[in-house]
Amino acid sequence: MDSHQVIMEPVISEKSYNLVEMEGQYTFRVDRRANKFQIKQAIEDAFDVDVVRVNTMNIKRKPKRQGLTVGATAQWKKAVVTLAEGDSIELFEGV
């Protein structure tokens, strides 16, 4: 898989920004078929940083409803990437 196919988008939330400030960990939404090694390679290629560790989790569907319409959220995969000391990703800086 190409690095642009593995990384879909950064996760923008209060918790993810707290992880950036406190732990130096960055959170991304990734392809569900990608493994930790592919995610590590994609982050290193895309942002030119050294990745120390990758933690992944599968986010399950959650039932949602609006009026009489019943549905569910999409199932997706989240990756929390820990970078080497001194590395950072500019995408998350200054927010």
18: domain CATH number is 3.30.70.330
Residue predicted with more confidence, 4 or 36: 36
Number of domains in the chain: 1
Task: Confirm if 29 and 77 have CB atoms less than 8 A apart.
Answer: yes
Domain of residue 74, residue span: 3-89
- Residue 95, in any domain of the structure: no
Q: What is the dihedral of CA 38, 42, 45, 51, to 10 degrees?
A: -80
Mean pLDDT value of segment 15-34: 94
Q: Could you tell me the pLDDT band of residue 4, with boundaries at 50, 70 and 90?
A: confident
